[in-house]
Each structure stands twice: as structure tokens, then as C-alpha cells.
């Protein structure tokens, strides 16, 4: 687990956003990890936050609105954004934009930006007096800010014809400004979205509403990237739409990080097969499918006979090699539709989709013989004991697993290297 945490820390430290990982505990959210950007933004060290409750570290979080968003995402698993708003307590004062996602292991990951400087610029823009020299100075500063921001900024007319792009657009996409001005925004289309995606986008902004979504765009050279896209209509004095302002941030690294975290949450780090969390999830899905379609399914629970003796005799390094070799062997002798994972220690589970008890018994016996005949590194011989259990309503996941575990126990008590049906 320390290796996993270290991997996560290295990964999130590479991201440009502030990143926090929480777990839900005793009605609050506890800090699990933060990246270096959070330490800089909030002027606080990681050691001061890890293991601490959110409401204790940031007492204004409920008034700010983030606590409610975290609770909603924790309960239903749906990603949510908390638009830019002011957070304030005795120690901290600043504008923050938050994006919350739920990880497969139940923890929450929050990507947020310090929008304080942007908000200050925005407030300045709204207070401009267009007839004064001061106003012209501020407009100039705003133009400079648009050019120097890392976000991509693009302005179009009502038909999507590009009228302005800042330098960040050119750097990201590889286009020259002359190639974009006068062209339509579909020059960035990646082909990864269906037509109805763009229809919804245009329907939203043409109705005068703001639009926000993650989009996959394409550079001049064909490289795809994920962007957090926001489009805002600009109106004239009669409330007619004159232009659209699109701002976008490259979040490819964030999306890739989410995928990495998902893998870390569902894959056993030693054997590189599914872990117990993923197996539990898969059993639940098979139970729901059985209730709907009445398809039979079984689970095989097995472990290595006398594995402690392997560790004691040859050492844990050899024990780990045995676990990895067994995992590879099983993967080559089960069906593509079967789900295989490490339950813990030397114990494993196979979920046999659309399989009766009789067929599961045949598969288990065949697997037992394969393992018995196999020689790991042409040197180490092992055997396995297998418990077989077929799901029957209205069993819960726990009851099904217990049935397989009891069958496995009986197999070991009656001599090992055998299959018992529960």
C-alpha cells in the first residue's frame, strides 16, 4: 500500500491543478493526499493536513458549498463542479473553482484552481469606464492578461467563425493565427464525438446560456487532447447575441491520472490481476444480472496448499514469484468472459459467467489438474484446493462468498488438492 500511495503522490504532483484526495469517515471527509500545488496555494504543509478532517482544517467549507458537493458525489458517484466562489475563514481568503470525482475505491478526488487573480481582473473589467483613459488602460491590461494566460481563449461570431485567438491556442494546437482567423471552430473536431454532442452545444449557447463540458479536440498534427471547455455568449444592448467567448484548459494529464488511479484502485499490484475490491464489485453486477435475466453464474475460490511452507522454505521473494506465475497460468486457462482476481494472500477467486454448477465443477477440476501438472520456473511444484459455489436467489454477495469459502475449507480439511462444491 505504501508503494501505491507513493505512486499516487508522484502522479498528482505532476499535475498543474491543485489536487486533493479525501475519504469519507464519521460524517466528515478526511484528507488522504494532496499535491505540492495545494501546499503552495494554501500555505500549508502536507503533514498538517493528512488524516485531518476537512471541517477542522477549513471551517468555512460548509458555507462555501464544497462540503455539500462532496457529499452528493460520495452518495451517487456523479462528477460535479463547484463554480468559482469565495472561500473565507480566519486563515484563508480566496476564490476557488472545484471539480469533484469519485474514485473506484470510494475515495473522492478534487481538482481545484485558485481563481483569485482572475476574479480580480474580471471585477476590474466590469467596472471599466469606457470614456476615460483609465478605462483604456484597464482594457489594455485585460488584453495582456488574455494573451499571457495559460488557458486557451477564442472568440467567434454567432456562426462559429473565429475572430480572435490568444497565443495559448496557437501553442497548444500548432496552428498559425492566419490559419484560424476566418475559419470555423470545427477545424478542431477530433471525430470522437457524435453529431448530437455538437447539436446540444449549439442549442445551449444559441439560447443564451453558458456551456461547460469536457471535449476531445485535435491539434493541427492530429494529436488528440482533452479540454475543459466553457463557452459564454456576449450580448449587445438589446440582448442579441453578438459573439461567443470560449475558454478551455488542457486536462489531458488529469484524465490520464484518473485512469491511472482507477487502475491502482482495481488492480493487485503484485500479480497485476483484479483485486478484492474489483471482485466484490463484479459479483454484485453478476447478482443484478441474474435477477434480471436469470443467467446462472458460479464462483471458484481457491488457495495454494501449504503456501506458508513455500515462504518459510524458500523466502517471500520466491513466494511472490509463485503467486505471479500461478496468476499467469490461471489467466491462460480460463475463458475471456471469466473474471479472475486475488482475494488476499494466496487466495484467489474466479467468477464464471453464465455457468451452471455442473459446468463449474468441470472447469474447476480441469484447472486443479493444470496447476498440479505445472512446474514454476521448472523447479517449484504446487497444488490448489478449490471451493465451488453457484449463486441462487435471494443470496447476498456475502452469503455466496461464504458458501464458496466453506467449500474451500472442506477441500483443505479432506486432504487438499481437490475440488468441493458448496
Q: How many helices (H) and strands (E) does the chain have?
A: 17, 17
Q: What's the confidence (pLDDT) of residue 127?
A: 62
Give the per-residue pLDDT at 150: 80
How far apart CA 247 and CA 228 sit, in angstroms, is 8
Comparing CA positions, the residue from 406, 401, 399 lying closest to residue 422 is: 406
Using pLDDT thresholds of 50, 70 and 90, give the confidence band for residue 132: low
Q: What's the pLDDT score for residue 263?
A: 76
pLDDT at residue 2 in the model: 45
Q: What is the pLDDT of residues 322-337, one digit of tens each?
A: 999 999 999 999 999 9
Query: Where does the pLDDT of residue 264 fall: very low under 50, low under 70, confident under 90, or very high at 90 and above?
Result: confident
Q: Is residue 120 pLDDT above 70, yes or no?
A: yes
C-alpha cell belonging to residue 89: 475563514
Residue 187 CA from chain centroid, whole number: 29
Which candidate in 42, 107, 346, 390 is catalytic? 346
Using alpha carbons, select from 249, 222, 259 the residue that is nearest to residue 118. Answer: 249
155 exposed, middle or buried (CB, 10 Å; 0-12, 13-18, 19+)? Answer: middle
What's 149-255's CATH class?
alpha beta
Q: Is the pLDDT of residue 357 over 50?
A: yes
Radius of gyration of the CA atoms of the chain, in A: 28
Q: Which residue has the higher pLDDT, 134 or 119?
A: 119
CA distance 34 to 57: 13
For residue 259, the model assigns a pLDDT of: 80
Residue 38, pLDDT score: 93
What CATH architecture does domain 267-421 belong to? 2-Layer Sandwich (3.30)
Work out the mean pLDDT of the chain and round it to a whole number.
90
Beta bridge partners of 241: 235
- Tell me: pLDDT of 12 over 90: no
Check residue 1 and give its pLDDT.
43
- The 10s digit of each residue's pLDDT in 411-420 is 999 999 999 9
| Residue matched to cell numbers 463542479 | 81
Known active-site residue 122: no
Mean pLDDT, rounded, for 76-82: 93
Q: What is the assigned CATH class of domain 2-114?
A: alpha beta
Residue 3 has pLDDT above 50, yes or no: no
Q: Of residues 21 and 125, which shows the higher confidence score?
A: 21
Phi and psi (nearest 5°) for 29?
-115, 125
For 133-188, what is each residue's pLDDT tens digit? Answer: 555 565 555 666 566 678 898 999 999 999 988 888 999 999 999 999 999 999 99
Percent of the chain whose pLDDT exceeds 90:
73
Whole-number Å distance between alpha carbons of 156 and 206: 13
The answer to whether the predicted template modeling score (pTM) of the entire model surpasses 0.75 is no
Report the 3 state secondary structure along 156-201. EECCCEEEEECHHHHHHHCCCHHHHCCCEHHHHECCCCCHHHHHHH
Give the pLDDT score at 224: 94
> In the chain, where does the domain assigned CATH 3.30.450.20 lie?
2-114, 149-255
Amino acid at each position: 500500500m505504501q508503494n501505491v500511495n507513493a505512486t499516487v503522490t508522484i502522479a498528482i504532483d505532476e499535475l498543474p491543478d491543485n489536487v486533493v484526495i479525501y475519504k469519507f469517515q464519521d460524517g466528515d471527509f478526511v484528507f488522504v493526499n494532496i499535491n505540492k500545488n495545494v501546499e503552495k496555494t494554501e500555505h500549508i504543509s502536507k503533514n498538517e493536513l493528512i488524516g485531518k478532517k476537512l471541517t477542522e482544517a477549513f471551517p468555512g467549507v460548509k458555507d462555501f458549498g464544497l462540503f455539500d458537493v462532496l457529499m452528493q458525489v460520495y452518495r451517487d458517484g456523479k462528477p460535479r463542479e463547484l463554480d468559482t466562489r469565495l472561500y473565507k475563514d480566519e486563515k484563508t481568503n480566496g476564490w476557488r473553482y472545484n471539480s469533484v470525482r469519485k474514485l473506484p475505491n470510494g475515495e473522492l478526488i478534487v481538482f481545484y484552481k485558485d481563481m483569485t487573480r482572475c476574479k480580480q481582473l474580471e471585477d476590474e473589467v466590469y467596472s471599466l469606464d469606457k470614456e476615460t483613459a483609465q478605462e483604456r488602460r484597464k482594457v489594455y491590461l485585460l488584453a495582456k492578461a488574455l494573451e499571457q494566460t495559460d488557458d486557451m481563449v477564442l472568440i467567434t461570431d454567432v456562426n462559429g467563425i473565429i475572430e480572435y485567438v490568444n497565443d495559448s491556442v496557437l501553442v497548444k494546437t500548432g496552428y498559425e493565427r492566419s490559419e484560424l482567423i476566418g475559419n470555423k471552430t470545427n477545424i478542431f473536431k477530433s471525430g470522437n464525438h457524435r453529431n448530437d454532442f455538437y447539436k446540444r452545444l449549439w442549442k445551449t449557447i444559441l439560447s443564451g446560456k453558458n456551456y461547460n463540458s469536457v471535449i476531445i479536440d485535435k491539434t493541427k498534427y492530429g494529436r488528440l487532447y482533452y479540454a475543459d471547455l466553457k463557452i459564454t455568449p456576449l450580448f449587445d444592448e438589446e440582448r442579441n447575441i453578438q459573439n461567443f467567448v470560449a475558454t478551455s484548459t488542457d486536462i489531458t494529464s488529469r484524465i490520464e491520472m484518473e485512469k491511472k488511479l482507477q487502475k491502482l484502485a482495481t488492480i493487485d499490484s503484485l500479480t497485476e490481476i483484479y483485486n478484492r475490491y474489483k471482485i466484490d464489485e463484479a459479483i454484485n453486477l453478476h447478482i443484478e444480472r441474474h435477477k434480471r435475466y436469470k443467467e446462472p453464474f458460479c464462483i471458484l475460490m481457491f488457495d495454494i496448499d501449504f503456501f506458508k511452507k513455500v515462504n518459510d522454505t524458500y523466502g517471500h521473494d520466491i513466494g511472490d514469484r509463485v503467486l505471479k506465475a500461478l496468476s499467469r497460468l490461471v489467466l491462460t486457462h480460463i475463458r475471456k468472459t471469466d473474471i479472475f482476481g486475488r482475494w488476499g494472500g494466496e487466495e484467489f477467486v474466479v467468477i464464471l459467467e453464465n455457468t451452471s454448477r455442473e459446468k463449474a465443477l468441470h472447469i474447476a477440476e480441469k484447472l486443479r489438474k493444470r496447476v498440479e501438472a505445472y512446474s514454476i520456473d521448472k523447479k517449484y511444484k504446487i497444488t490448489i484446493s478449490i471451493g465451488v459455489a453457484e449463486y441462487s436467489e435471494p443470496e447476498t454477495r456475502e452469503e455466496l462468498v461464504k458458501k464458496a469459502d466453506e467449500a474451500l475449507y472442506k477441500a483443505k480439511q479432506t486432504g487438499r488438492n481437490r475440488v468441493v462444491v458448496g
